[in-house]
Amino acid sequence: MIRHPDDTTRKAVLNVFAGLVTPALPATIQLVKQSLYRRDYAAAFDSPDKLQAYAARWSVARALAYLDMISDGSWSPDVARAFARPGPLNVACIGGLQDPETYPQTAPSAGLDTATATPSAGLETIATATPPETVSNSLDLTLLDFAAWAPIVDSLYAALTDPARSPQLRLSSSSLAVRCRQQDVLAPLSGATVSSLAEADIITVLFTAGELYSQSPTATTKLFLSLHAVTKPGALLVIVDSAGGFEDLDVPTRGSPRKPATASDKDTSSRKPATTSDKDAGRREKTGGVGGYKLGFLLDKTLTSKERWQQVASDDSKWWRASAYPLDLENMRCLIRVYRRNNDD
């Protein structure tokens, strides 16, 4: 069983990330924040210092949130059982523009009683690791991202497996295998990436789906549709994103050319109310052949319309409140979707 995280476990997660905090960090965080505001991800993640700043500032809250969500069943009983069962657990973390949050959390289930899994998401997964007292899992974690997260992941891994760490909070290096693959998930997937997805028991897309759709609706839809072909029956797909952060995603309708986004397109106050029919429940007014959709509706429509995936958990507004930390952490309101891959017959 997965044990509900106590204050000691949460503090241990915070301490893993606290090692990334340096005096120069606030200035670097501002540079990263400016690039993220412009959605210039290449600039936001173009140096080790910026990756470290991002992990220390934004991955912490997500790691703690994922830890709580796994242990309280928000990611479905299926996910909780996967982390608690004996034997190895393979997790692939998809981040086209990803971060290191998952790493700290999934680690808890690899010999841990609590856990989760993005590279930033990957970082978050590992930081929450606790040693195996009632769980005998080993965790094999693959982090897919276009940025070079390996040095940051190595730093968190070292903190988790540090012999000087309390035995109750130290993770055995034999219970966790981690690899980072630089992969633009909106481009053709490499053979190694496909193999990782094929072996995965759980695939996570954490705070990434909305940005992927914003970058390329067509390529993102193609990515999600392709997952059925490369995953095994019973695999779980966990998607977490900002609730309300992507309420009006523009997706070209069939047979219509893609219309460049304009300032007016993003002004939802000038749009007509969304329709209420079952078919268009998540859709807003169509403008110039481009349909505006809510993220949750778009995910459900893409993944479940042909019965290739079954939805096993859904929450459009999951609240999580932050703990104390050297840097201010925001509370979060998240959208959660968990799907199980159906059999091929």
Name beta bridge partners: 169: none
* pLDDT per position as a tens digit, 26-78: 999 999 999 988 888 888 888 889 988 888 888 888 888 888 888 888 899 99
Work out the pLDDT band at 283, boundaries 50, 70, 90. low
Do the Cβ atoms of 103 and 124 come closer than 8 Å? yes
Domains in the chain: boundaries: 7-254+272-341
Work out the pLDDT band at 127, boundaries 50, 70, 90. low
Do the Cβ atoms of 70 and 132 come closer than 8 Å? no
Do the Cβ atoms of 224 and 113 come closer than 8 Å? no
| pLDDT tops 80 at residue 267 | no
* pLDDT per position as a tens digit, 227-240: 999 999 999 999 99
Work out the pLDDT band at 108, boundaries 50, 70, 90. very low
Taking alpha carbons only, the member of 127, 244, 121 closest to residue 176 is 127
Task: Provide the pLDDT for residue 285.
Answer: 42
Do the Cβ atoms of 146 and 96 come closer than 8 Å? yes
Of 141-150, 169-178, 284-293, the poorest mean pLDDT is in: 284-293
Task: Provide the pLDDT for residue 248.
Answer: 64
Residue with more model confidence, 14 or 327: 14
pLDDT over 70 for what percent of the chain? 68
| pLDDT tops 50 at residue 132 | no
Query: Distances from the Cα of 318 to the Cαs of 42, 278, 313, in angstroms?
Result: 30, 23, 12
Crossing angle (nearest 10°) for helices 191-199 and 217-230: 60
Work out the pLDDT band at 164, boundaries 50, 70, 90. confident
Task: Provide the pLDDT for residue 197.
Answer: 97
Task: Provide the pLDDT for residue 270.
Answer: 31
Work out the pLDDT band at 278, boundaries 50, 70, 90. very low
Residue with more model confidence, 2 or 343: 343
pTM of the model: 0.77
Structure token digits, residue 329:
């952490």
* pLDDT per position as a tens digit, 168-189: 667 777 788 888 898 999 999 9
Strands 283-287, 290-293: pairing is antiparallel
How much is the mean pLDDT over the chain?
75
Residue with more model confidence, 170 or 212: 212
CA count, 13 A, side-chain hemisphere, 27: 3
Instruction: Write the class of the CATH domain 7-254+272-341.
Output: alpha beta
**Separation CA 190–CA 193 (nearest Å):** 5
* pLDDT per position as a tens digit, 310-336: 999 999 988 877 666 666 677 788 899
- Report residue 38: phi and psi, to 5°: -85, 0
Task: Provide the pLDDT for residue 338.
Answer: 97
Do the Cβ atoms of 272 and 285 come closer than 8 Å? yes
